[in-house]
Amino acid sequence: MKKILLSTMALALSSTFAMADTVRLGTEGAYEPWNFINDAGEIDGFEREVGDELCARAELTCEWVTNDWDSIIPNLVSGNYDVIIAGMSITDERDEVIDFTQNYTPPDPSAFLATDAGLDVTSGVIAAQSSTIQAAFIAEEGWTLVEFPTPEETVAAVRAGEADAVLADEAFLKTFAEEDGLVILERKEALGGGVGLGVRETDGELKGKLDAAIQSMKDDGSLNELITKWEVSSTF
C-alpha cells in the first residue's frame, strides 16, 4: 500500500473522460509485488491482474502506461491517463484533488527494514520514498528523515549505511528481507485507509463502473484470492 503525500497544490480539473474511449491505467511499475516490470518488459504484479479483471468486469477497453511516482497525481489530473492503480492509499488530502473508488485492499500497517533487529527507530535515521505518507509520518514524529525518489533507493541507503532503516509497505519490504542481513522489525505503523483507484473528480461515470467491478470481486472472493496470491495485504 504505497502512500503518496500531496503538497499544497491547486490543480485545474479540465480533463473529461469519455466512456467510449480506451481507459488508460497509470501505474509506477517499480513496486513489487504490487506493480513491476517483468523480464519480458511488461507491467506485472498484483495490480496488473486486478486492473485487467476490473476492466473485463466493467466492460472497458483498457491499456497500461507507466509514470514516475512523484508526478502520478498531477499527470492524472492533466489527462495523461484516466486511472491511477499504483498502491495508492486513500487519504483525505488526496481526495481534495482527485476521487477514489472504494478500496481494493484493506488498510495494513507499514513496516521497518533494518540491519539491526534491535534498532530504536525513534533515534535512528529513517529512509522513505519522497512524497509518501510514510515520509510524512516520520517528519510528523520528529524523527530524522532522509528521502529518496524511488523505493529501491531507500533500501539501498540502508545497505550503504546512509540510513538505519526504511519505512514502507511490508509487502514491498518482504522482497528484500534476509538479503544482506536485512530484517523486518517487530514495530509496525498503522497508516492510511486502504488502497483505491484514483480518478479525476470529473469522471464520476468511470468511478461508478470501477466501484461496481471492485465490489463484484469482493463479493465472489476473487479479490481475496489475488491478495493472497501476491501477499500484498490482509484480506477482506
More confident residue, 24 or 90: 24
Report whether pLDDT(157) > 70.
yes
Structure confidence by residue, pLDDT tens digits, 36-91: 999 999 999 999 999 999 999 999 999 999 999 999 999 999 999 999 999 998 98
pLDDT confidence band for 93 (50 / 70 / 90): confident
Ordered by where they begin, the domains of the chain are 23-107+194-230 (3.40.190.10), 110-189 (3.40.190.10)
pLDDT at 15: 43
pLDDT at 10: 39
Report whether pLDDT(34) > 50.
yes
Q: How far apart are CA 152 and CA 166, in angstroms?
A: 10
Q: What's the sign of the alpha-carbon dihedral 98, 101, 102, 108?
A: negative
Q: What's the sign of the alpha-carbon dihedral 130, 135, 140, 141?
A: negative
pLDDT at 8: 36
Report whether pLDDT(13) > 80.
no
Place of cell 463502473: 209
pLDDT confidence band for 160 (50 / 70 / 90): very high
Residue-averaged pLDDT of the chain: 92
The CB-side HSE value for 80 (13 A sphere, CA atoms) comes to 14
pLDDT at 111: 97
Element of type H or E holding 93: helix 92-95
Report whether pLDDT(178) > 90.
no
